[in-house]
Amino acid sequence: MVFASEKFEITHTDAEWRALLTADQYNVLRKEGTERPFTSPLNKEKRSGVFACAGCGLENFSTKTKFDSGTGWPSFFTTLPGVFQTKRDFLLVLPRTEYHCARCGGHHGHVFDDGPRPTRALPPTVAPLRRPPRGAATE
């Protein structure tokens, strides 16, 4: 994992992460993988609530900020305050801004500057997200 040198509130060994997460969640959160577009049921998630990190449960996106970017991944125009850290990523040669969970270090995606106002699009890799929590109303 790229953030191995950073300290996070929630840490596990690689074996523990593998046991705690599904294979898809592990690939995205711990190995910075990407889900195939248009494959996640969260694309169609319409209930009110808050999305949370699948690695540690930290609430990170409100459904009020979700929009359909047409990319195949759910996108958000902002996050809940203080839940992500960012770093520059050069894996595809051109620099990108990667964001990861401030509590467990799990990879959540990259920031793209083509989202709706007032801020940028933040399409996460979907595997790290859990459905809106307890008592979420069905629309």
Which domain range does residue 36 map to? 14-130
Number of domains in the chain: 1
* 6 within a domain of the structure (yes/no): no
What region does 106 belong to: left with phi over 0, alpha with psi -120 to 50, or beta? beta
Coil, strand or helix: which one is 61?
strand
* 137 within a domain of the structure (yes/no): no
* 74 within a domain of the structure (yes/no): yes
* 4 within a domain of the structure (yes/no): no
pLDDT one-digit tens code per residue, 21-62: 989 889 989 998 888 888 888 888 888 888 889 899 999 888
DSSP codes of every residue in 2-56: TTTTS--SS---HHHHHHHS-HHHHHHHHH---PPTT--GGGG--SSSEEEETTT
Q: How far is CA 114 from CA 19, 82, 118, 122, in A?
A: 36, 22, 11, 9
Give the integer Cα–Cα distance in Å for 91 and 13: 24
* 35 within a domain of the structure (yes/no): yes
* 7 within a domain of the structure (yes/no): no
Q: What is the CATH number of the domain that holds 22?
A: 2.170.150.20
pTM, full prediction: 0.79
* 62 within a domain of the structure (yes/no): yes
Q: What is the pLDDT of residue 92?
A: 64
* 109 within a domain of the structure (yes/no): yes
Instruction: Provide the β-strand partners of residue 130.
Output: 52
